[in-house]
Structure 1
Amino acid sequence: MVHSAQRVSTREVWGHAVANITPSAMPAVTIALVAVHGGSFTWLAYALVGLVMWLVAVQLGILAKHFPSPGSLFFYLAKALHPVAGLVAGFTMILGYGGALLGAPLLCGLFANTGLHTLFPQAPDLLFPLALATLAIAFLLARRGVEISARWGLWVEWFSLACILLIAVLTLQHFGISDPQQWQLGHLHPPSLLSALVLALLAYGGFETAGNLAAEAEKPQAIPGIMRWAVLLVGLFFAFLAYTETLAFDRLGQSLGNASTPLNAIATAMGDPWLGVVVDLAMATAAFSASIATFNSISRILLSMAGHGVLPHILTRRHLTYGTPVVALYALGVVVLASIVLFWLTHTEILSLIGIFGTFTALGFVLLYALGNLAALRYLFQQRLELRWLSLLITLISLPLLG
């Protein structure tokens, strides 16, 4: 039974899902990957993938409605598709979300350290201590309870998004709003757009983690809607930022695809170096929010899998006061601490390390969403429910892209 102090409001479940998506990373870092292929139609790539991912969210929402569980896709697929599919989903989520958890504290330390050096050039290098502090605070919040950690994650993520939207508005103020080149669809090159679509898909991963809080949500029946709304809102955010950044780089005569930190480059070009500090602060807070959210998500997946006998039973132990899966959280904390120490000892390039962790996460999302489509389709046809033909149509649209 869940402790009453740990009930999570619908708003906090929604914030938990958005924090797992980490939309702030798209305009600050990953958009360049999509822009290499999307060019002037990068916004269209994000919009089209947003539509497809909304359809996937409809499918996963069906599973969340009929099989509410903190194990989310592990439980959904085991019940609706096959127990082996559930096992694959469970371990894929652990590896996929684990990649995000390993990278998030380091990314928070990196951006916080960069912003600090911008303000105080003589400051010592604090990347390692800042990463450790991020890990410690995120762990303590997750151990204290999902309600307080979800609320912290929600407000931190809102702050991060507000910073980035401020920069976007100032960018349009500086460079203008109109960019006819982005609307000339006659110049669209379909093979390049297809490559951009595949890469843009990775920005949406994480919305399904709303299902991990099914046991603690005040209104678990709201979770399917949260999944759909999370995808819709971040999709609008992605398309708007893609349009804005493409416009700015076109005015600068530079290639967005070659920019390692696009927002920082735009801030410098506008002659407002303080905006670069805002970008660093936004990314640091987003990474902190992601640290909390992934601690919450993975610990509940471990709890569910242990409860079904897939993992050692000790992982089902909860904190006596807070009711959180404390053994699972400690296990995760030790693994993340080891990765940070290993990074410090080997002096590894942090962005390369983030790239490796991100690969695990991205591949995991693709597999999970493909299996989720098949599970929803099979369940609806088995039960002869009204939505089965819509599910078939969604599967026929989304599976080729995921493949």
Structure 2
Amino acid sequence: MRSRPSSVSPSEIWGHAVANITPSAMPAVTISLVAMHSGHFTWLAYSVIGLLMMLVAVQVGILARHFPSPGSLFFYLGKALHPIAGMVAGFVMITGYFGALAAAPLLGGLFLEQALAFFWPVQGIGWIAVIALLYLLVAWRLARRGIEISARWGLWVEIFSIACIILIAAFTLGYYGWRDPHQWEFSQLQQGPFTQALILSLLAYGGFETAGNLAGETRAARTAIPKVMLFSVGMVGIFFVAMAYIEILAFSHIPSAIGNSPAPLNRIAEAIGRPWLGIFSDLAMATAAFSATIATLNSISRILFSMAGHQVISPYLHFRHPLHHTPTRALGLLALLVMISTVVVSMARFSILSVVGTFGTFTGLAFLLIYSLANIATPLFLFRQQHPWRWMSLIVAGLSLPLLLKVLQVSLWPLPKGGEGAASVLFVLLVIIVFIRGLLWARYQPRKLHQIIDVVDE
């Protein structure tokens, strides 16, 4: 079925990509993990990794320019590297992004409950599950109605989320000023802990490549999507560096360490005598979780749609709604699975943050693997084509691939404890199973494997 030409704008594609990155999570939650190792040089860690991820975005953008497809790296790697690499990337992206999709409504429910508690004290995982299911229902309805509507909603919700964070930052600078000489004393930089901080900060940038999932619904996709990938990494990078500087500055005046604070923005709001600002921190995460739910629904449904079109999974999912032109069967399947996982988490009374950590492990490992494969595929493809950019791509791969592989190795070994460790083992098993399946197809069903690189009507 032919999809209609769409009017998704570059700003809406950018909003979709940024929603998948979820930049609000960095100043609200994850900065504590990075700052625990980098201390006064947290801003530098995000700067270095931001530049690295811009190089990765260049690599992925080259593939997106040559092979625009809703399947994103599933199709890119299948064409540029090998169909088995495409299979691995496709299944890894589905499971990795699904981890983010399953976690986002629960995280939104948790932070919205915290924001509401300021006015109306409600507690309990039952309330969180109810809010999460409402998030899912609204996001599913928007995604089903059309990519223009859902991308536009995601964009404005993400703008609101970032605006809440910037409001807190403005009050913080107004209270403490902007000077902090300690953050510029590079003689105090310790290489070992700083390297660990680089590893942790890398995962904050993941998700920019999902702009490629809108290739089938974007005019001038070959030029617009690579630019959006690079621009989204650059913009969130500036945001990350600025917020890291401001938060470290604030905590230099606070007795407790930022590394020991699960909600650093709320702690800063209390320290400057405006605890009500903590509501904006919670609202920022709550709204960011909603935009992430919409964005991941759109991303995974289009990967499923593309993989079904290439006969890698059931062709049943290669279907667009006759009126809305959205992959409604894939969206319905995803919504059902997330609903089941939310109910299970609620009934089993699991800790929301531990569940988010377990799901997030899949997502982080997926990012690391597909970015590593992209850094292998891009220079190989460009050298085969004798492309003028081939040497530049090789240099970029030489800079970024070793760090990506190092982060992947550190993430997998030594094996994390608890749910994160179980998720890591399942991730490795998934990669092995899909790789073996690809080898069996290559040996006994080569025609099926070749279908991955056939261009289908998206």
**TM-score (norm: length of structure 1):** 0.98
CA offsets 1:312-358 (integer angstroms, 9 cap, x no match)? 00000111210110110111011100011001101110001000011
The answer on 1:47 being equivalent to 2:47 is yes
Does the CA contact (< 8 Å) of 1:108 and 1:284 recur in 2?
Answer: yes
1:309-324 counterparts in 2 under 5 A?
A: 309-324=311-326
Name the count of aligned residue pairs. 402
Does the CA contact (< 8 Å) of 1:212 and 1:297 recur in 2?
Answer: yes
- 1:104 — aligned with what? 104
**Letter of the aligned partner of 2:228 in structure 1?**
I
- The alpha-carbon distance between structure 1 residues 254 and 334, as it changes in their structure 2 partners (threshold 3 A), is same
1:17-166 counterparts in 2 under 5 A?
A: 17-121=17-121, 126-166=127-167
In 2: Cα distance, 1:216 partner to 1:168 partner: 36
In 1: Cα distance, 2:72 partner to 2:327 partner: 16
Give the CA RMSD over aligned residues. 1.1
Does the CA contact (< 8 Å) of 1:24 and 1:283 recur in 2?
Answer: yes
**Letter of the aligned partner of 2:73 in structure 1?**
L
Q: 1:13 aligns to what SS in structure 2?
A: helix
- The alpha-carbon distance between structure 1 residues 397 and 276, as it changes in their structure 2 partners (threshold 3 A), is same
Deviation at 1:387, TM superposition (A): 0.6
In 1: Cα distance, 2:367 partner to 2:230 partner: 16
Deviation at 1:122, TM superposition (A): 6.2
Deviation at 1:274, TM superposition (A): 1.4
Deviation at 1:253, TM superposition (A): 2.8
CA offsets 1:27-85 (integer angstroms, 9 cap, x no match)? 00111111111111011000000000000000000000000000000000000000000
Q: 1:393 aligns to what SS in structure 2?
A: helix
Deviation at 1:400, TM superposition (A): 1.1
Deviation at 1:172, TM superposition (A): 1.0
Amino-acid identity (%): 57
- 2:348 — aligned with what? 346
CA offsets 1:147-199 (integer angstroms, 9 cap, x no match)? 10000000000000011011011111111210000001111111111110010
- Deviating more after overlay: 251-260 vs 115-124: 115-124
Deviation at 1:286, TM superposition (A): 0.2
- Deviating more after overlay: 118-127 vs 85-94: 118-127
Does the CA contact (< 8 Å) of 1:35 and 1:196 recur in 2?
Answer: yes
Does the CA contact (< 8 Å) of 1:111 and 1:283 recur in 2?
Answer: yes
Q: 1:291 aligns to what SS in structure 2?
A: helix
- 2:453 — aligned with what? none
Does the CA contact (< 8 Å) of 1:105 and 1:288 recur in 2?
Answer: yes
- 1:326 — aligned with what? 328
The gaps in structure 1 that reach 5 residues or longer are none
- The alpha-carbon distance between structure 1 residues 33 and 67, as it changes in their structure 2 partners (threshold 3 A), is same
In 2: Cα distance, 1:305 partner to 1:38 partner: 41
In 2: Cα distance, 1:260 partner to 1:74 partner: 36
Does the CA contact (< 8 Å) of 1:109 and 1:284 recur in 2?
Answer: yes
In 2: Cα distance, 1:145 partner to 1:38 partner: 43
- 1:249 — aligned with what? 251
- 2:228 — aligned with what? 226
Does the CA contact (< 8 Å) of 1:9 and 1:219 recur in 2?
Answer: no
Does the CA contact (< 8 Å) of 1:3 and 1:322 recur in 2?
Answer: no
Deviation at 1:2, TM superposition (A): 2.2
**Letter of the aligned partner of 1:364 in structure 2?**
A
- 1:205 — aligned with what? 206
Does the CA contact (< 8 Å) of 1:157 and 1:289 recur in 2?
Answer: yes
The gaps in structure 2 that reach 5 residues or longer are 406-458
Deviation at 1:114, TM superposition (A): 0.9
In 1: Cα distance, 2:149 partner to 2:350 partner: 34
Structure 1 runs, 4 residues or longer, greater than 6 Å off: 122-125
1:349-368 counterparts in 2 under 5 A?
A: 349-368=351-370
Deviation at 1:123, TM superposition (A): 7.9
Does the CA contact (< 8 Å) of 2:71 and 2:213 recur in 1?
Answer: yes
